[in-house]
Structure 1
Amino acid sequence: MPKNRPTYVELGYSDDFGLTALAAQLCSPDRPAVDLTADLPAALAVAARLADASDGEEAVELGEDARRLLDGPLPDEVLHTVWLAAVGRAFDPAGHGMDIRTWLRAVSDLATDRLRQNRRSYVPPPVHPVRDEGLCGEIVAEIRGLAAELTGAAGLPDLVPALRQVVGLNDADVGFRLFLRALKASSVRVSKERYDRFLGLGERLGYPVAVVRDGLAVDWPPIDTARRETEWDFGFSQLAGNAHQDWSPDRARREISRVADADEPGQSPGTAAALLLEDALRLSRSPLSDGTITTLWAAVSGAALRVDGRGWLRLVADVCEERLREIAPAYTPVVPPAVTEPADAVLREVRETALAVADQAVSPSWRPIPAAEAMAALEQVVQQVDPDLGLRLFMVLLRVLSVPVTPGQYERYRALGDRFGYGAYHVDGVEHLVR
């Protein structure tokens, strides 16, 4: 992104936008049942609906994308080729006696007209193409790496050199998004390693993750809960951390689904559900008493939802298994042996905090749970179930009780997180407690 311009994420975008969002809508199987190859007004109507989205904010990027391509040095045949690839040939302006530049000007004018509804004097600002040499080189390398697959799938012999020209001579931003759209429209599969590189390029360009991820065919590796690929919390501790006072029994399944369905961008589909299921199975199959599990959940959830502990675990497992049957039917849940080597270190941290909160309670104003009972249940998780899960639930309980944390404690928590392979921001959830 230009240095003085906010990223697309900062601008509020969560999905694709601009000309590539238009291309996606024009070739979507969910579009209205109309033959776009024979109906120019229908194609313009799709563009108008996009320009009207978010009170006209989408019109800004739509118009700028079109002007970036129009203002560049690219020949008409290059623009025509990349447009056909991006839209999966669902709409070819040449079929209406309209050359590609006339089509792009029509899109730009439509976007400008939409913006003038709110500000009659609106004049489109000068475009600011992204021409970072290093970034362009990396995108071109990715295009070359998929040249054979993309050319064959799209059926456009000149597509790869055309995309390279858009990126190298005109604009890395629009060029990369058109490349991604061409891959999606032609159903070209990419490796997980390449997909990860695409995410990195998208992050540098300020894209929301959906611009890369949504609709892209990725050769995902099998789910492996030892390979978490998340920078944040996960599993049962994430579910507890999401709990709030508005939770109710009739919404419980929906709240569990939100965690089970929330795969991180780099995770194989179903990983979030597999991680949550593994935690639930560890606890439900453990020697902990029903009362201990019930107390544990009530404490780490901040008493948001008081339920029978093992009954709650059965519901969690049911939701996760349903999600896995849908998204990863080949996955067989396995609960590997816990990593017990750091258990003593985790136990020391839990016991040190237990002394400091002995006179406190979770939910002190309504059916309080003595902190001593909560910490005792946590000790049992560390000793009898899994110190990794115990540490994660400990981080949640620190937040529930608002326990002050010394800089030394915080650094020890981070070191323990590193030993368990936590992501960069996992332990940062208690950083605000450091005194």
Structure 2
Amino acid sequence: MTGRQEPYYVDYDADFGLSGLTEAFTLTPAPENTGAALGLVTAKLDAYDRECPAGSVDHLSADERSILGYDTSHDDWGYAEELREDVRGLVESPLADEAIQAVWRAAAGGGWDPAAHGMSARDWLRRIDETCAARPPRKIPGRRPAPSSWWGAWRPAADEVRDDVVAEIAEIAEIRSCREPSAGSLPSPDTRFPSPDTLSALEEVAVRVHPELGFRLFLRALKVHSVRMEKARYDRFQALGERFGHPAALIDCGLDVAWPPLDTARRDATWDFGFSHLAGQAHQDWRESREEIRKAAEGDDIGQTPGSAAAVLLEDALRLLRSALPDAAVTALWAGAADRPGSTDGRDWLRLIEDVCRERLREAAPAYTPVVAPARTELADTVLREVRETAPAVADKAAGRHWHPVPAADVMDALEHVVTRIDPDLGFRLFLRVLNTLSVRLTQEQYDRYQAIGERFGYGEYHVSDVDHLIETG
């Protein structure tokens, strides 16, 4: 995940604070009374404690914690404190109780309504605060600045991003108003959208309490109401979340997104992908199996159309299967990219990959028809020059050296075949993997050229940087 700021999250990349608590209320039957509702609050805090045990970073020095972004000045900051900060922000705000009530109902899915149990929204939030305060303090270096400094630390970000959060809420309100029943029609409000009063209350939270809290509660309301949104809006939400330091999964999980059709030509993976990515997953205990392929085929990046990982892996496998590349060369390619010889014949391995990917696509994108797009040959000569320049430097090396070594010369010959006769894009991705497995030392000039090639292929931000550790520094 990109853009994550560790002071805000350490071991926990799900929703948190009040919005995380309201999610818990949407996932369980409505509590029968106040005691049961407060029991659900306690259960949420207990679940967090199990996922992020206290002292989980005690082995780090103060300097190491500072480097990672922990707030070493406050050692008792856990989920309960995050929840209390959200709660106090609302309780002490100038918002009317009706506005707080509307926000709670929308975010919690209406399953637990404090008004039905004789409590105002503020009274209910105070009960939550008391439940949190009764818990023993945790010893986790601050996942968030100490309460006394929180508002000051976030005020600059708040001023910058508040208008963008409000604009997103206002746009949903405008879409909803366009779907109101016309005059003379039956009064059937569109339950797929939060009510106008709720959206107005969420806007008040963003403006008068804090835009970060308003944004999380807004997201929760959209998820509860299953509001379908286009990819462009989803991307804006991710950009907003990144500015707040939210992990991408917090935005993604539960949103109803109208994903664009699968397209293997669209390069939207942050890291490596396809056959080269699968090779990069190999490790000492890794085995060529359906299970390992399945993990890779299900590994869609946040923000990708479901099935993307399987589609690009399938395309790579089909390119190799349909080529004139000899079986021995397929085996050499795998050994060079994965640093281990295959236990399965090269083409049998590719057929197994094909089978697993098609199975995954039938589940994730049943309407998708796999195709092999024309290779992008315009960069063939450029990639070939890089492969040939490196070949002499690895002439005495071998891949898969811990098992049954494969001469690096065979690997480089197979790479040349892929680059010139199959697909320069696939050849370059495998070349980057081979650089890693053979520990090829790079000059800054070479690395810069690789970055330029990656940009022309449309690779993600961190794809080529996977080899930056090979650059000679002295």
TM-score after normalising by structure 1: 0.92
Over residues 302-344 of structure 1, what are the superposed CA-to-partner deviations in whole Å (9 max), with x where a residue is unaligned?
1064321111111211221111111111111110110111111
CA distance in 1, matches of 2:250, 2:466: 28
Query: In structure 1, the residue corresponding to 2:257 is in which secondary structure?
Result: strand
CA distance in 2, matches of 1:233, 1:364: 23
Contact 2:340–2:401, Cα closer than 8 Å, also in 1:
no
TM-fit CA distance, 1:128: 2.8
Q: Show the counterpart of 2:457.
A: 420
TM-fit CA distance, 1:432: 0.7
Q: Show the counterpart of 2:86.
A: 65
Aligned AA for 1:382? V
Aligned AA for 2:126? R
Q: Show the counterpart of 1:102.
A: 123
Query: In structure 2, the residue corresponding to 1:342 is in which secondary structure?
Result: helix
Q: Show the counterpart of 1:165.
A: 204
Q: Show the counterpart of 1:245.
A: 284
Q: Are 1:196 and 2:235 matched, yes or no? A: yes
Contact 2:252–2:303, Cα closer than 8 Å, also in 1:
no
**1:128 maps to which of 142, 150, 159:** 150
CA distance in 2, matches of 1:103, 1:17: 18
In the TM superposition, what are the counterparts of 1:1-150 in structure 2 within 5 Å?
A: 7-9=7-9, 11-28=10-27, 31=28, 34-36=29-31, 38-52=32-46, 53-54=48-49, 55=53, 57-116=78-137, 125-126=147-148, 128-129=150-151, 130-131=154-155, 132-149=158-175
CA distance in 1, matches of 2:247, 2:6: 13
Query: In structure 2, the residue corresponding to 1:114 is in which secondary structure?
Result: coil
Q: Are 1:320 and 2:357 matched, yes or no? A: yes
**1:213 maps to which of 243, 252, 257:** 252
CA distance in 1, matches of 2:44, 2:14: 12
TM-fit CA distance, 1:345: 1.2
Contact 1:86–1:178, Cα closer than 8 Å, also in 2:
yes
Contact 1:19–1:65, Cα closer than 8 Å, also in 2:
yes
CA distance in 1, matches of 2:11, 2:210: 22
Aligned AA for 1:82? V
Query: In structure 2, the residue corresponding to 1:218 is in which secondary structure?
Result: strand
Contact 1:7–1:207, Cα closer than 8 Å, also in 2:
no
Aligned AA for 1:177? R
Query: In structure 2, the residue corresponding to 1:229 is in which secondary structure?
Result: coil
Over residues 325-379 of structure 1, what are the superposed CA-to-partner deviations in whole Å (9 max), with x where a residue is unaligned?
1111111111011011111111111111111110111133532111111111111
Query: In structure 1, the residue corresponding to 2:134 is in which secondary structure?
Result: helix
Q: Structure 1's 217 and 416: CA in aligned 2 closer, same or farther, altered over 3 A?
A: same
Which structure 2 segments of 5+ residues have no match?
A: 55-77, 141-145, 178-189
In the TM superposition, what are the counterparts of 1:199-348 in structure 2 within 5 Å?
A: 199-249=238-288, 252-303=289-340, 305-348=342-385
Q: Structure 1's 192 and 155: CA in aligned 2 closer, same or farther, altered over 3 A?
A: closer
Output the aligned Cα RMSD.
2.0
Q: Structure 1's 40 and 127: CA in aligned 2 closer, same or farther, altered over 3 A?
A: farther
CA distance in 2, matches of 1:208, 1:107: 25
Aligned AA for 1:142? E
After the TM superposition, which of the residue ranges 178-187 and 49-58 deviates more from structure 2? 49-58
After the TM superposition, which of the residue ranges 203-212 and 257-266 deviates more from structure 2? 257-266
TM-fit CA distance, 1:213: 0.6
TM-fit CA distance, 1:43: 1.9
CA distance in 1, matches of 2:356, 2:35: 45
CA distance in 1, matches of 2:321, 2:452: 28
Q: Show the counterpart of 2:67.
A: none
Contact 1:64–1:127, Cα closer than 8 Å, also in 2:
no
TM-fit CA distance, 1:401: 0.4
Over residues 219-274 of structure 1, what are the superposed CA-to-partner deviations in whole Å (9 max), with x where a residue is unaligned?
1111111112122111111111111111124xx22222222112112211111111
TM-fit CA distance, 1:193: 0.4
TM-fit CA distance, 1:6: 5.0
Over residues 84-105 of structure 1, what are the superposed CA-to-partner deviations in whole Å (9 max), with x where a residue is unaligned?
1101111111111111111111
CA distance in 2, matches of 1:118, 1:424: 35
Q: Structure 1's 270 and 370: CA in aligned 2 closer, same or farther, altered over 3 A?
A: same
TM-fit CA distance, 1:71: 2.3
TM-fit CA distance, 1:156: 3.1
In the TM superposition, what are the counterparts of 1:386-425 in structure 2 within 5 Å?
A: 386-425=423-462
TM-fit CA distance, 1:117: 7.6
Query: In structure 1, the residue corresponding to 2:378 is in which secondary structure?
Result: coil
Query: In structure 1, the residue corresponding to 2:377 is in which secondary structure?
Result: coil
Query: In structure 2, the residue corresponding to 1:190 is in which secondary structure?
Result: strand
Q: Structure 1's 365 and 234: CA in aligned 2 closer, same or farther, altered over 3 A?
A: closer
Query: In structure 2, the residue corresponding to 1:341 is in which secondary structure?
Result: helix
CA distance in 2, matches of 1:118, 1:407: 44
CA distance in 2, matches of 1:102, 1:150: 31
After the TM superposition, which of the residue ranges 197-206 and 154-163 deviates more from structure 2? 154-163
TM-fit CA distance, 1:277: 0.9
Aligned-pair identity (%): 51
Q: Structure 1's 327 and 42: CA in aligned 2 closer, same or farther, altered over 3 A?
A: farther
CA distance in 2, matches of 1:365, 1:245: 9
Query: In structure 1, the residue corresponding to 2:356 is in which secondary structure?
Result: helix
CA distance in 2, matches of 1:238, 1:118: 38
Aligned AA for 1:12? D
After the TM superposition, which of the residue ranges 261-270 and 170-179 deviates more from structure 2? 261-270
Contact 1:293–1:309, Cα closer than 8 Å, also in 2:
yes
Over residues 89-128 of structure 1, what are the superposed CA-to-partner deviations in whole Å (9 max), with x where a residue is unaligned?
1111111111111111111221222234879xxxx94473
In the TM superposition, what are the counterparts of 1:344-383 in structure 2 within 5 Å?
A: 344-383=381-420
Number of aligned residue pairs: 419
